[in-house]
A and B are shown apart, each in its own frame.
Chain A
Amino acid sequence: MSPHDMLDVSQKSLRHVGKSLAHDSAARHVQGSAIYIDDMPEPEGTLHIAIGGSPVARGLMRVLDLDAVRSAAGVVTVLTADDIPGKNDVSPAMGDDPMFAKDRVEFIGQALFAVVATTRDAARRAVRLVKSTFDEEPPSVTVEDAVERNETVLPNYEFGRGNTDEAIAGSRVKLSGHFRIGGQEHFYLEGQVSLAIPGEGDELLVYASSQHPTEVQHVVARVLGISDAQVTCEVRRMGGGFGGKESQASQWAAIAALAAKLTRKPCKIRLDRDDDMMLTGKRHDFRVDWELGADENGTLRAAEISLLARCGYSADLSQGVVDRAMFHSDNSYFIPDVRISSRRLKTNTVSNTAFRGFGGPQGMLAMERMIDALASATGRDPLDIRKANFYSEGRDKTPFGMSVEDHDVLHQLVSQLEISSDYRARRAHIDAFNKESPLIRRGIALTPVKFGISFTLTQMNQGGALVHVYSDGSVHLNHGGTEMGQGLFLKVAQIVAEEFGISLHRVRIMPTSTGKVPNTSPTAASAGTDLNGMASMLAARAIKERMAKFAAESRGVNPGDIIFRDDAVFVGNEKIEFAALAKACHAGRIHLSKASHYKTPKVVWDRPTAVGRPFYYFAYGAACSEVVIDTLTGEMKLERVDILHDVGRSLNPAIDIGQIEGGFVQGLGWLTTEELVYDAKGHLKTHAPSTYKIPVASDIPEDFRVSLFDGANREDTVYRSKAVGEPPVMLAISVFSAILNAIQSLQPGTPVPLNAPATPEEILKAVQALGGGGGF
């Protein structure tokens, strides 16, 4: 029985799916009654933890004198590497992230010890009493330092096709350059936090603010030397994640777990903001060296792109992050001969990690920067250059061999936005304005986004769910995805309520627990709904089929004739309340619980040979941004933004628009005001919101128009929706290009040496390079 043919949902009257429902926790958020880990009532005797970190970026620890720390008021115990019963490793895979550094220290702030005290205040004060000495070595802080030392965290990797040297040499237009792309702090509003409660024997219950509870479970078990089955990790919600709690929530959970195991008391750790910013990784910063060949009209013939990623001291997720940068270095453009190479450089800074877009933004920015250079060199409008190079019929192979099958979406979407944003008329207006304005310059850019959906590590493309129907007709929904504000829990609940034909309030959304759904993938790669929504739908469908079969048999009809709708089940003319049927099923000994699993079809990627299809599908979008800059100060104002974005058939337009706007603004921060500054010793100087500036309300344009592109996902995803978490970040590249465009007006044809983020200082530097910046 399949009462819902999901292939064409537009013809159905859906009750929940496709509706702009408010976030399931919205009413709690606004009343302060949504519980985050630090808000949970503390079990009696709860102890608090603070971290002591390395004061030097590279060297050997000679003395770690903790006597004063141990004897400070309120201190219960102090933990170091020597207290770890299992393995001193909190890494996601590569075994190179010690929980506590023992001899060698590799970045400033690296955890050396943890103080466990009766209050958080006592723990923080005690930390500062440490006496330590080091044999300091000069650290690698920049990409250049690491290149000079030839230190990497993982092997180099490249893919491509054809002979780029020859193709570039034979091109009419040859361009090359290099530029820098800054990193980005996640700045989730809720910092890293975990509460570990010891149970019987080795049992532990760990509450973590983590996108990856399964990894927390595994890391805790590994550190404590116990089995995974002894550890349950639960996540109700995070106060923001953005990738920063994918691999890097584990260390704090594991420290809390170790403290709980040793003290036999509940133990809580909550990093203060400065520690959080210094002790956890960020978006990778890159240097990009590039070279391209094109014909005189600006059609790309070949490109060489070299991505130098600053990974920090360990591998963490840098393999996947930099791979994804490579996968997106083409963005939306066909490049006949192409070589994309990458280096994962080791520096004595905190280990960079996942951040919304996972390398994609850096790769895409590199290509858009190249396209802008090409437009400048050929004297053509950048949008014309973009459109001329879009993937199209017969020109659809990506540098990694996968075909772009639905490139028509890209063409349609960009054409629609070009018209709705009034790009051409505004371009003409801006050109005229700039001719008359020596100090104030305007710029506009319309840039596309094509973002691959799936984990590029194929095995991670799986989701799980556990659904119960209780005999009163209420539904208990568990799945492997975590809620960090993105609305996953609501979307999946909408899907399950739709499947059962019941009201949303009957679906109880449960916290994510490794005890309910095991062996999960992180909530990452934008794939949370694709994987867990599908798994949950399958689970609900299986239970529904059992209920339909039971109802059909007792009434002598076909299960396929039974309709689940409006909290009831319709058998011909007979209406049975859903709750009544659930009760009857239970009495009839029907199993009303189901664990289901989903794996993404079609994806396969063999990294060593660089062959396969790493992505199930692509999500598209485009944005048109207009800026104005002050050539005396480098100040910039974003005046208007138009966005058209492809989410397939939206499961919840309000939630999707929230992701698009939020992603765009996060990207805006990355490319404009958010600057991570390290000094020569490896100190992060911007480790609090006083010095690290994420966008505020006045940074968003007053004229901000966001629309959803109308179209179903051509692949068989849940209700033909598309993933939306990460792609919108890259819409902000339009702002960077618009700034570049404004600067370019000072001297058309001259390369603009603009790096990201385009802070006022960076803009003024580029303005000066083009002969401006001196006034009248």
Chain B
Amino acid sequence: MPRSTISFIRRGQRVDVSNIDPKTTLLDWLRLHERSTGTKEGCAEGDCGACTVVLARERDGKLVYEPVNSCIMLLGQVDGSEVITVEDLATSQGLHKVQRAMVENHGSQCGFCTPGIVMSLFALSHAGREIIDRSAINDALAGNLCRCTGYRPIVDAAIQACSDHSPDHFDARAEKTLELFKQFRSLEDVFVGDDDSFFAAPAAESSLAFLVQKYPDATLIAGATDVGLWITKGLAPIKKLIWLGRIRALAGVEETEATISIGAGVTHETAAPYLAAIDQDFSEIAGRFGSQQVRTSGTVVGNIANGSPIGDWPPCFLILDAELELRAGLATRTLPLEDFFIAYKKQNREPGEYLRRVILKKPGAHDHIRLFKITKRRDEDISAVMSAFRITVEEGLITQARIAFGGMAGTPKRAQSAEAAIIGLPIKDIATWRAGAEGLSADFSPLSDHRASAEYRMRVARNLIIKALAEMAGVPSSSTRIVGLREDAHVAP
């Protein structure tokens, strides 16, 4: 029998929730059911971070603390976690070091974003970093909008709080918390509700395959960073939800000599180091994907499954000749990622079928990788244009080219004319770069929208070809970029 409650830890106690609308968000549960109103709703779409809370979870025998947007996270997704909110940080001994630093540095003005910021910094203070630099703080805060302070005092507070490595009361009771987690048997399926309305959180992949076949009309979620918006903004009348976040078989990244396979339950956060190892531009893009809160919930495969023309990963994976593995019941099939995207909002996926994993081919010794993301705002913004390049250069000549774009068509798409235009040409020749840019005209006729005009998209896409090829030809990125410079990138420890 599956467990029929959503169960988690709250303030040191186990909480079991059974009688609940399956699409209830964590934020609504906190504010309306528990009446903990410290956590705020600023946008209900995971962009402002006022609703940030921290989930503590067990990973490899240790507690990890991750910030999430409670406004678009469904209550069922906290199953097996400890939910920590802004009310839980101070003790009878006084404010938590993060809170104290915020007060001492004048980090709050109107105070409405403050609970979310405190929780993001709380998570950062538990991230186990020896030294805290500005880019780590920018990363930690990219998902928290503050309209009053201009951030400088918050950055100072982050430096102060995270330089203090003394343990807090969460560290002090970590053993006890880990002990509490043991009662949530991780191999047990969870099914809350009935045939008409439920939140299912299977632990076994076989249960998932069964549920997806039995309820082909159910909505499958991983991070729910998109489906959450269908609920809060679209008021979608979703009744049946299947969450794949508890399935071990889908939670891993597997690496071979030639490939990287990312399971459907793998978050952006978990995948980031593997992707960063491909090329440092992957690290740059991984760091600009959504925000910390989105990256700890949302999944890499979800970014594909969702089929959006402006997802950041599909172009990056198209150049790596990625393949998808899909499963329906007991049957699995693989197909090239390129063939998954049929048209705008239409993918090659049958009812009762789900994406298991994406398999990336690692670049070869002669391959050069470049990725560029063009947005109005550097952090936490959706691409106007996303571009990805894998160019094989042998003895100065381009022998193979993979160029893919997002934001330029109804689906993420390869630029095959541009690719063809440069094959066989010398990489160092400016004429080659221009030929690539010219070739693009035959590939796309982009649309104008609120992110960019068609003219801008086309112009930038062409210029990015020039930029990528120039860099590959040896022009230092300090002469071609203002951010994400390759020369001064951090070397992963």
Contact = CB atoms under 8 A, between A and B. Distances in A.
Contacts of B138: 696-698
Contact of B42 (A26, A273, A628, A661): A273
A593 to B, nearest CB: 30
A487 interface: yes
A236 B282 CA distance: 47
B149 A189 contact: no
A698 B43 contact: no
A240 B112 contact: yes
B376 interface: yes
Interface range for B: 35 or more
A125 interface: yes
B154 interface: yes
Contact of A485 (B89, B109, B470): B109
A654 interface: yes
A33 to B, nearest CB: 7
Contacts of A486: 109
A666 B111 CA distance: 16
A30 B95 contact: yes
Given A685-B449, A690-B382, A697-B155, A239 B40 contact: yes
Q: Could you say which of B144, B379, B480 has the most chain A C-beta atoms within 10 Å of its C-beta?
A: B480
A764 B109 contact: no
Contact of B153 (A632, A658, A773): A658
Contacts of A274: 233
A696 B37 contact: no
Interface in A264-305: 272-274
A26 B36 CA distance: 19
B45 A273 contact: yes
B44 A272 contact: yes
A189 B102 contact: no
Interface string A676-696: 010000000110111101111
Nearest to A31: B90
A635 B482 contact: yes
B106 interface: yes
Nearest to B153: A658
A632 B111 contact: no
B265 to A, nearest CB: 25
A686 B233 CA distance: 14
Nearest to A484: B110
A673 B376 contact: yes
Interface stretch (B240-248, B361-369, B457-465): B457-465
Contact of B134 (A273, A636, A662, A702): A702
Interface string A320-358: 000000000000000000000000000000000000000
Interface stretch (B113-121, B328-336, B345-353): B113-121
B354 interface: no
Given A31-B38, A632-B463, A23 B235 contact: no
B438 to A, nearest CB: 12
B87 A33 contact: yes
B467 to A, nearest CB: 5
A633 B374 contact: yes
A635 B379 CA distance: 12
Interface in A387-440: 437-440
A20 B41 CA distance: 31
B214 interface: no
B148 A658 contact: yes
B389 to A, nearest CB: 14
A439 B39 CA distance: 45
B452 to A, nearest CB: 6
A253 B346 CA distance: 44
A764 B452 CA distance: 12
B450 A439 contact: no
B376 A693 contact: yes
B266 interface: no
Interface in A139-196: 186-191
B132 to A, nearest CB: 13
B95 A637 contact: no
Contact of A776 (B111, B113, B466): B466
A699 interface: yes
A699 B375 CA distance: 13
B430 A693 contact: no
Interface string B145-168: 111111111110000000000000
Interface string B6-29: 000000000000000000000000
B235 A677 contact: no
A28 interface: yes
Contact of B437 (A20, A38, A693, A775): A775
Contacts of B106: 20, 22-23, 26, 654-655, 657-658
Given A485-B111, A632-B466, A689 B48 contact: yes
B481 interface: yes
A686 B50 CA distance: 20
A237 B111 CA distance: 9
Interface range for A: 35 or more
B374 to A, nearest CB: 6
B483 interface: yes
A128 interface: yes
Contacts of B235: 124-125, 128
A696 B38 contact: no
A664 B378 CA distance: 18
A25 interface: yes
Nearest to B21: A121
A274 to B, nearest CB: 7
A438 B110 CA distance: 44
A742 to B, nearest CB: 11
Interface in A758-776: 759-761, 764-765, 768, 773-776
A484 to B, nearest CB: 6
A696 B142 contact: yes
Contacts of A677: 450
Nearest to B288: A698
B451 interface: yes
A486 B106 CA distance: 11
Interface string B62-104: 0000000000000000000000011101100001001100111
A663 B109 CA distance: 12
Interface in B353-402: 372, 374-382, 384
Contacts of A27: 95, 99, 103
Interface string A481-518: 00011110000000000000000000000000000000
B142 A776 contact: no
A629 interface: yes
Contacts of B112: 36, 188-190, 239-240
B109 A30 contact: no
Contact of A662 (B150, B380, B381, B464): B150
B306 interface: no
Q: Could you say which of B50, B89, B110, B377 has the most chain A C-beta atoms within 10 Å of its C-beta?
A: B110
Nearest to A636: B482
Nearest to A702: B134
Given A39-B37, A665-B150, A696-B380, A761 B453 contact: yes
Contact of A698 (B98, B147, B379, B463): B379
Closest CB pairs A-B (n = 10): A32-B38, A485-B110, A239-B112, A29-B111, A665-B150, A485-B109, A32-B86, A689-B47, A39-B37, A661-B150
24 contacts: A22-B103, A23-B111, A26-B108, A27-B99, A32-B36, A32-B39, A38-B41, A188-B110, A273-B43, A628-B482, A635-B482, A636-B482, A637-B378, A661-B153, A662-B109, A662-B148, A663-B150, A688-B47, A695-B151, A696-B141, A696-B379, A760-B374, A760-B456, A773-B463
Interface of B: 35-45, 47-48, 50, 85-87, 89-90, 95, 98-99, 102-104, 106-115, 118, 134, 137-138, 141-142, 144-155, 233, 235, 372, 374-382, 384, 430, 433-434, 437, 449-453, 456, 459-460, 463-464, 466-467, 470, 478-483
Given A633-B374, A666-B147, 10 more contacts: A29-B108, A485-B148, A662-B147, A685-B450, A688-B45, A696-B144, A697-B142, A697-B151, A759-B376, A760-B376
